[in-house]
Amino acid sequence: MDSETRSYRTGSRETVLDLTDDCRGFVAGRGDGLLHVFVPHATAGIAVIETGAGSDDDLLAVLADLLPADDRWRHAHGSRGHGRSHVMPALVPPYATLPVRDGRLALGTWQSVCLVDLNVDNTEREVRLSFLAG
């Protein structure tokens, strides 16, 4: 297994950050296998969704409806509603495992690999990419 950790700046706003190009570059030329993408944070997740046509904003809107940024959360340090960021990985898991064929991600036409981060208190995220040869 070959692994690499990359850092991403997510800023101080909720974000869906497209990692697809980085994932493609990581698996290029590696043959068949699996790419495992993992974010080692308690308040972020990995989603495989369409981006660029509004779906990324729709995902943030759904998460805002399901997990409002208000004072209901018992985990209450940080910015208002911070506790929701700790619940989000139950809905958007902190990992995804994707097929790789002949050194290329075997994604559907409109699928992208994205980091989902609602935590406005942390502006830096790490993502671990691991290739498991088939």
pLDDT along the chain (134 residues), means of 10: 94 93 97 97 94 92 90 72 83 97 96 94 93 92
Distances (CA, A) of 21 to 12, 27, 66, 78, 112: 23, 10, 30, 32, 9
The tokens describing 7, both together, are 């850092």
Task: Please name every residue paired with 9 in a beta bridge, in sequence order, or none if there are none.
Answer: 124
Q: Is the C-alpha dihedral spanning 81, 68, 14, 4 positive or negative?
A: positive
pLDDT at site 76: 66
Give the separation between CA 99 and CA 90, rounded to whole angstroms: 23
CATH of the structural domain 2-133, one choice from 1.10.10.10, 3.30.930.10, 2.60.120.460, 3.30.1320.10: 2.60.120.460
Give the separation between CA 99 and CA 36, rounded to whole angstroms: 9
The pTM score is 0.92
What DSSP character marks residue 128?
E
pLDDT at site 81: 65
